Amino acid sequence: MATYIDTPSRTFNEYLLIPGYSSRECTPDNVTLTTPLVRYRKGEEPELALNIPLVSAIMQSVSGERLAIALAKEGGLSFIYSSQSIEEQAQMVRKVKMHKAGFVTSDSNIKADQTLADLVALKERTGHSTVAVTDDGSAHGTLLGIVTSRDYRVHRMSADTPVSAFMTPFKDLVWAPQSITLTEANDLIWDHKLNTLPIIDAEGKLVSLVFRKDYDSHKEHPLELHDKAKRLLVGAGINTHDYAQRVPALVESGCDVLCIDSSEGFTQWQADTIAFIREQYGQRVKVGAGNVVDRAGFRFLADSGADFIKVGIGGGSICITRETKGIGRGQASALIEVAAARDEYYEETGIYVPICSDGGIVHDHHMTLALAMGADFIMLGRYFARFDESPTNRIFVNGTYMKEYWGEGSNRARNWQRYTATAEKKLVFEEGVDSYVPYAGSLRDNVGVTLAKVRSTMCNCGALNLAELREKATLTVVSSTSIVEGGVHDVVQKDGHTFSTP
């Protein structure tokens, strides 16, 4: 006979937080949102952590390189979508890793005897306006000069003009030795009013470049998430089919953390994928798994070696898994049970495995509820799809600007490997829809507002960090009428809408 769970499967909308005592120190400016990204042992620090508890979903309409760069600058992390070729995904990862660094290996290089036409073609290919001129045109050849957009005018010069005729020659450059620190390099940039500082080894060969804009960017984004080399952090999705080929390419591209992209993770295929990674790379390569909705699913993936575990099935705004297949669970109920399982696992083993709440977020306050219920961080699709930086176009629909948003389980995603498909590569049935979401502007502005709400609510609960929030939070189930009471009601708003209780 089937097992029955008699308690209702609940959503975030059915809960509210009860305010707790707030001390004078409980102000939003004092709240830290740092949270572990991967597993760690008791008494140790996690190898990877987030500065804000937000990651973007592994979706074509969400996580491209532009959004990954923007989110990392705010302290979060993107997982570049895996429903594309291995080469294309690895290239996206490389673009994020190359976007900003303290000491940047030059990827735009040219020889002195090449022409202006060659330079223009190189700029179009790489998008970079600063080009190193080396004896062999490589990133580590002998440095002969630097070319920037100020050194030439395409419409006033012949296309066959040699680069040597308009570059700034080495003798006129300010440069630094390989032994210089990043702080010293930045001081040199400011002292000499430079935009670019070449770093040279003892033989005169180019080692790297340091850019003024990187220093400025860091000051504008104090929570920026980066690695030891000051490169932005980025994740990538993988599947349980071509992982033997995809994982090595992503590791080579510089990817910081992987995540298995699947609507249901309590499977031997996920255990096999994790086992492959451990056999090939040990603990060096970090990989998350999921999704699960109960204690048994969490224990299975934790025992399999997952570095974090995603929670949620069917709660996404474009996901129709529940109505199509009849599987899933209310996101709040799933998260509460899995968080308890994580804490039990930590007590038993001394290993803390972070959990990621994936789906079910409609309003900003749902994020605070998810964090209070035990989520270490939250994966968001619809939320990020609305922003300038998401990969889709902004379009005008019925008098309103919208952005396209579709599920990885829709036919449009053509994500054949993740879902059951025919030999002709056509889905037997869909688990996602194709839709629009209201355009919302820039990621930075919106994330700033959202996190201001989270920090303010944490202060209402007397919590200055996420661990304190989980410890001090008191949650109450709300009735349908109290949900109505909590919104605008019994007034006539100035925009002409009338609100009243039913």
Q: Which residues are catalytic?
A: 319, 418
SS3 category, 445: helix
Distances (CA, A) of 4 to 7, 9, 293, 376: 9, 12, 15, 29
Distance CA(383)–CA(378), nearest Å, equals 11
- Burial zone of 424 (CB within 10 Å; 0-12 exposed, 13-18 middle, 19+ buried): exposed
Query: Residues in the chain, how many?
Result: 502
SS3 category, 109: strand
Mode of pairing for the β-strands spanning 77-80 and 54-56:
parallel
DSSP letter string, 271-328: HHHHHHHHHHHTTSS-EEEEEE-SHHHHHHHHHHT-SEEEE-SS-STTB-HHHHH---
CB 78 within 8 A of CB 72: yes
Structure tokens at 405: 């948003």
Distance CA(197)–CA(393), nearest Å, equals 37
The helix/strand count (H/E) of the chain reads as 15, 26
Strand order in the sheet with 109-110: 109-110, 131-134, 143-147, 168-169
Radius of gyration of the chain, Cα coordinates, nearest whole angstrom: 25
Distance CA(196)–CA(185), nearest Å, equals 10
Distance CA(169)–CA(2), nearest Å, equals 78
187 CB-side CA count, 13 A: 5
Strands (E), 315-365: 351-352, 355-358
End-to-end CA distance of the chain: 42
Structure tokens at 334: 């799933």
Instruction: Measure the CA angle with vertex 277, ends 83 and 341; round to 5°.
Output: 90
Distance CA(367)–CA(450), nearest Å, equals 9
Cis peptide before 51 (omega within 30 of 0): no
Distance CA(132)–CA(139), nearest Å, equals 8
Distance CA(312)–CA(352), nearest Å, equals 19
